[in-house]
Amino acid sequence: MEANIKQVSAVLNPPAPHMVGDGFRVHNFFPKGHKLKMSPFFLLDYNSKIEFSARNEPRGVGVHPHRGFETVTIAYHGAVAHHDSAGNSGIIQPGDVQWMTAASGILHKEHHEEMFSKKGGPFQMVQLWVNLPAKDKMSKPKYQALCHGSIARHQLEHGTVEVIAGEYLGTKGSASTFTPIHVYNLRLNKNGKAPFSFPSGYNTAFVVIEGKIRVNDKEEAKTDQLVHFKNEGEQIQIEALEDSTVLILSGEPINEPIAQYGPFLMNKPEEIQQAIADYNQGKFGYLEE
């Protein structure tokens, strides 16, 4: 059994935060904060829990483009309103997940939801950038709004695995994906245990959203830390040392070259140039500020 355990490579503290717009105070765990092998996940911005004061004018990020990947927003506290140039809009409440496939190109904006903004309160979110393989980068944009109540659940003896994407012990995830990928929210009561198994070659990491856990009877991690795993072995066990919520990420690497510039994630520099030209020519559609 020991030989098949997926060993921890590091337990990492959140990098210093920075603001995205005026509404999101994020720790960029990767690619800038820590140099981690995490393909197909390209970026992880973690908005650790923060109190926002009440405000009439909602904070947020104005209209900006994306091409070549997907943005996945997972809400834990607070609420965000989203609008994009494909005509999608919605409110992301605690427990909800918004899975936006930018692909060939989209404009979007994200602000604190109006009622949350007027009241203020705790705010905690994760945004992932999930890379797309070259063959899918120019596919049509799409949008998956996953309400908390509709997300697939696997009941454990002492908790729940919310299967956002992929599969967990036969429970299939709610989101459709372009490559093999697992995204779960584990909610585990104190002293509860949960087993996980991912192929040895998959890039895997956990973010402790709340609480404190022990991994494989060895390493401990607490709120706001990231646990990164080696690409060997398959089995992982989590034990909750207190009531805990853990974001679990594992996926098959996309072994293709990456060219990234700002909000564009392509394979070649010339594709970045084309994305900039297309954006400047209005080919990403129109969205009012």
Write out the binding residues for Fe cation: 64, 66, 108, 110
* Strands 97-101, 159-165: pairing kind: unpaired
Question: Who contacts 135 (Cβ-Cβ below 8 Å, separation ≥6)?
Answer: none
Q: What is the end-to-end Cα distance of the chain in Å, rounded? A: 56
What are 187's strand-pairing partners? 160, 245
Phi, psi of 252 (to 5 degrees): -75, 125
Omega before 269 within 30 of 0, i.e. cis? no
Is residue 30 within 8 Å of 49, Cβ to Cβ? no
CB-based contact 116:122 (threshold 8 Å):
no
Question: Cβ-count burial of 226 within 10 angstroms (0-12 exposed, 13-18 middle, 19+ buried)?
Answer: buried
Give the residue among 28, 41, 42, 35 at the shortest CA–CA distance from 10: 35
Half-sphere CA count of 85, side-chain side, radius 13 A:
24
Q: Please state the separation of Cα 39 from the chain's center in Å.
A: 13
CB contact burial 184-206 (16+ within 10 A = b; e otherwise)? bbbbbeeebbbebebeeebbbbb
* Spatial separation of the C-alpha atoms in residues 186 and 277, rounded to whole Å: 42
Binding residues: 64, 66, 108, 110
Contact 196, 204 (CB under 8 A): no
